[in-house]
Structure 1
Amino acid sequence: MPLICALAAVLNRVFAVTKLSFSKEKIQILLLEGVHDNAISELAARGYATVERLPTALDEAELLERIGSVHMLGIRSRTNLTAKVLEAAERLFCVGCFCIGTNQVDLKAARSRGVPVFNAPYSNTRSVAELVIGEVIMLMRGIFPKSTLVHGGGWMKSAKDSYEIRGKTLGIVGYGHIGTQVSIMAEAMGMKVVFYDVVRKLALGNAQPCDTLEDLLKISDVVTLHVPDTAQTRNMIGPEQLRQMKRGSYLINAARGKVVDIPALVEVLKSKHVLGAALDVFPKEPGGDKDPFESPLRGLDNVILTPHIGGSTMEAQANIGTEVAQKLIEYSDNGSTIGAVNFPMVGLPVHDGATRFLHIHRNVPGVLRKINDVFSSRDLNIAAQYLQTDPELGYVVIDADGDVDEGEVLDALRGIDGTLRTRFLYPGQPGR
């Protein structure tokens, strides 16, 4: 009987280790929504062979069926990663959003389960900026209604409501990575650029900051929006702001759909107070290409409507595929969390010659002392230790030298009150 009990203890420990650390070829990776080939190439080059890629999103029921065996998940904007799905994701240790935003993920739920979420916040900035510049020209020249007329067999050779962009004032709301690129490109084409941001920003070129949003709206011939979706930005362009815009001006929204009050925009467009608009994002968007798009903006000839394609260029998708895959690999191989949107950020060196343990826990007093006790009580030398916390979460990385019984250490670390997740990486074999 003692021999059987001892054998059972060993097997339990082996199974526990297997659940938390294994060779790369056994790490199950699921990529949804046609993630770019670059992601596959990056993963393959680093030894990740078990990758399934699907061309479409999965709904919640489908995700619940699939997520239980997945260790790394890659999604784009149409997949909603809810708390219910994350609760069922017992093996999931990281998520990659192959896009700019992360609104489709319940970041708090992922965080509470010790799952960092990565994205690519800057890889498509050029693509969005170029679309905006193109729309400025098309709006001010009335290209869209003229093109529609000619497609229908009509002809209207007129300069009415057609303007050069040179010398006109472009107002940029949100002077971040995209806004600044739009600023540089617009100025190079002869436009005067003004901008407004809630955070004081260094102006590029000859761009001038405005003290208030109202100041910007009153002097801009074209207003373009580049702000995130927050409680403060939702409907920030409402009836009052639209009336503050110059008569005969134009509005472009390639930011977030809920930033603009759509019924109020329809009203000022019909009255010609705002002469035209271009929107790439909407408060409610179809779930797929076969679903209908409904909006009161449809049918207005002075409005350009595009299906959320600001970042949909081959160059942007290639860049995003590379960037997010590299972040997932760095976390899996090395424990680095640089670029995570819901996690303490830790940049880590290569861990050759030591066994690396990752410990994610609630940020409560005494956890670090208990972690150190696990190693000191086993006469294990801590070669290096990295700690980063925020008010709710703590992330500790420990490099241990010597003959380490990984299963025993993991069991002890998991037993610490407040532990959310633990994992270890073998010396010289990242990602195991």
Structure 2
Amino acid sequence: MQRMAITVYSVRDDEVAYFQQWQQAHPEEQVQLIKVDLTVETATLAAGSHSVILLQTKPVDVTIIQVLAQLQVANLIVRAVGVDNIDAKAITQFGMQLANVPSYSPRSVAEFTVLQLLQLLRQSFRFNIAFKKGDFRWTPFLGEELVGKTVGVIGTGRIGAAVIAILKGFDVHILAYSHHHNLAAQGVQYVDQLPELYRRCDVLTLHIPGNAENTRLIDGAAFQAMKPGMILLNMARGSVVDTQALLAAMDQHIILATYDNEAPYFGQDYSQRKIDDLYLRALMQRDDVLLAPHMAFYTKPAVENMVNQALDKSLAFLQNTPTLEVH
């Protein structure tokens, strides 16, 4: 078999053991681990590699892809689902192949979704803040129960379907909106128009890709159509929600937010640094907002699957295995 070099960028400490285990199981392959992100400057580190694996929210634009192509890197694999930060046209232009890991652990995101929903309903995060200040009173944090509520799910792919499977145990009424009514046979009720979902639901959870079609899907008009007090859970990309409209709607709704301009901040330590982004600072100062730093996926099984499936796809590319398209 042809020896293949794989260069992996943005490697975290919690991933190293899984990379090493895969390397031990595939001694004929050479895997280079790099902790920094893929940039124009660091792209040269992939010289001699057939495949590059990455995980970052920073853009991978035509200038980076051109450098990789000049180094004869043939394949780019994202060890996650989202590829919206990759210049797909440049991938085609330079004759490279692009793949992702579409199903590393839908359950991890689904469980986190329901966990945060329960926190918002019971206001447990507010209790924790008060307790740490020595305030052990119950009031004014009177909670709500999930049972009997109407939950809207936008996007019923792998993650959305996993969320619905968990929610069925809470005796809620589920409404869904999706291009594909893939769960209709299982009794899930779909609506054809988003305003109907906004009008009828007590909770709305988002599980759709961060592509051009979905950019600012939840805008000012959407917030105006929602029930007062609706809980919004954005488990998709931050770009799906209009941040300005979100801030304007805060007094009417309860939010679990994934922030649009997350790339410079999430995954970084800003405890001793100034956050210049005014929108992010405004969200952080609200006590009725839970901000998730792009970590709903972050479990041991998910991380292991992301590593192994990305490496396996690199190997499959080399062996010309079909059906490696991006999902």
Normalising by structure 2, what TM-score? 0.88
In the aligned structure 2, how far is the partner of 1:191 from the partner of 1:269?
A: 25
Q: Which moved more, 1:226-235 or 1:129-138?
A: 226-235
In the aligned structure 1, how far is the partner of 2:308 from the partner of 2:111?
A: 21
Matching residue of 1:286: 264
- The 1:110–1:94 alpha-carbon spacing in structure 2 relative to 1, beyond 3 Å, is same
Match of residue 263, structure 1, among 244, 263, 287: 244
Residue 222 (structure 2) pairs with residue 241 (structure 1): yes
In the aligned structure 1, how far is the partner of 2:67 from the partner of 2:269?
A: 29
Normalising by structure 1, what TM-score? 0.68
Matching residue of 1:198: 179
In the aligned structure 2, how far is the partner of 1:233 from the partner of 1:319?
A: 27
Matching residue of 1:370: none
Asked whether the 8 Å contact 1:67–1:85 carries over to 2, the reply is: no
1:73 partner letter: V
- The 1:102–1:330 alpha-carbon spacing in structure 2 relative to 1, beyond 3 Å, is same
- The 1:137–1:178 alpha-carbon spacing in structure 2 relative to 1, beyond 3 Å, is same
1:53 partner letter: L
1:286 partner letter: P
Alignment of 1:347-426 (within 5 A): none
Asked whether the 8 Å contact 2:74–2:95 carries over to 1, the reply is: yes
2:269 partner letter: K
Per-residue Cα deviation, 1:312-349 (whole angstroms, up to 9, x for no partner): 111101111121211111121x211422329xxxxxxx
Asked whether the 8 Å contact 1:72–1:93 carries over to 2, the reply is: yes
Asked whether the 8 Å contact 2:84–2:211 carries over to 1, the reply is: no
Per-residue Cα deviation, 1:11-51 (whole angstroms, up to 9, x for no partner): xxxxxxxxxxx841xx3321112263434433442344422
Matching residue of 2:326: 341
Per-residue Cα deviation, 1:342-370 (whole angstroms, up to 9, x for no partner): 9xxxxxxxxxxxxxxxxxxxxxxxxxxxx
Pairwise CA distance, 1:307: 0.7
Pairwise CA distance, 1:106: 1.8
- The 1:194–1:120 alpha-carbon spacing in structure 2 relative to 1, beyond 3 Å, is same
Asked whether the 8 Å contact 2:53–2:79 carries over to 1, the reply is: yes
1:86 partner letter: I
Matching residue of 2:41: 61
Match of residue 203, structure 2, among 212, 222, 237: 222
- The 1:153–1:60 alpha-carbon spacing in structure 2 relative to 1, beyond 3 Å, is farther
Asked whether the 8 Å contact 1:172–1:179 carries over to 2, the reply is: yes
2:67 partner letter: A
2:258 partner letter: D
CA RMSD of aligned residues (A): 2.2
Asked whether the 8 Å contact 2:75–2:96 carries over to 1, the reply is: yes
Matching residue of 1:323: 309
In the aligned structure 1, how far is the partner of 2:171 from the partner of 2:215?
A: 32
Residue 197 (structure 2) pairs with residue 211 (structure 1): no
Asked whether the 8 Å contact 2:57–2:263 carries over to 1, the reply is: no
In the aligned structure 2, how far is the partner of 1:206 from the partner of 1:154?
A: 45
> Which sections of structure 2, spanning at least 5 residues, go unmatched?
none
> Which sections of structure 1, spanning at least 5 residues, go unmatched?
1-21, 343-432
Residue 72 (structure 2) pairs with residue 87 (structure 1): no
Residue 30 (structure 2) pairs with residue 45 (structure 1): no
In the aligned structure 2, how far is the partner of 1:87 from the partner of 1:248?
A: 49
- The 1:49–1:328 alpha-carbon spacing in structure 2 relative to 1, beyond 3 Å, is closer
Pairwise CA distance, 1:219: 1.1
1:195 counterpart SS class? strand
1:231 partner letter: A
In the aligned structure 2, how far is the partner of 1:163 from the partner of 1:285?
A: 34
In the aligned structure 2, how far is the partner of 1:193 from the partner of 1:172?
A: 7
Pairwise CA distance, 1:134: 0.4
- The 1:204–1:321 alpha-carbon spacing in structure 2 relative to 1, beyond 3 Å, is farther
Residue 295 (structure 2) pairs with residue 309 (structure 1): yes
Residue 86 (structure 2) pairs with residue 105 (structure 1): yes
Higher alpha-carbon Rg: 1
Asked whether the 8 Å contact 1:226–1:254 carries over to 2, the reply is: yes
Alignment of 1:104-123 (within 5 A): 104-123=85-104
Matching residue of 1:401: none
Number of paired residues? 314
Pairwise CA distance, 1:79: 5.4
Residue 14 (structure 2) pairs with residue 28 (structure 1): no
Match of residue 114, structure 2, among 133, 136, 140: 133
Per-residue Cα deviation, 1:216-266 (whole angstroms, up to 9, x for no partner): 111111100111112221111111111111112110001011111112212
1:109 counterpart SS class? helix
